[in-house]
Amino acid sequence: MVHGRWGIEAHRHKVVNVIGLPSGTQQSIDYTLAELTAFNEELRALERELARLRENWPL
């Protein structure tokens, strides 16, 4: 999710992440806004869980 270049294909209603140099090994992954929203919600839940763990078991 963090690496690569991001673009929008408005006619397909997709957000595209392109990984790699422009060559035969380049890969692209299409996401819908709903998929990105769900992924973001999962990250926020993970953040809350990690914060809870840090409170209970500080380093």
Calpha distance 16→29 (Å, rounded) = 6
First-to-last CA distance in the chain? 28
The pLDDT score that the predictor gives to residue 3 is 81
pLDDT (tens digit per residue) in 29-41: 999 999 999 999 9
The pLDDT score that the predictor gives to residue 58 is 87
pLDDT (tens digit per residue) in 2-57: 789 999 999 999 999 999 999 999 999 999 999 999 999 999 999 999 999 999 99
What residues does each domain of the chain span?
5-56
Buried (b) or exposed (e) across 27-36, using 16+ Cβ within 10 A?
eeeebeeeee
Query: Taking the model in full, what pTM does it have?
Result: 0.74
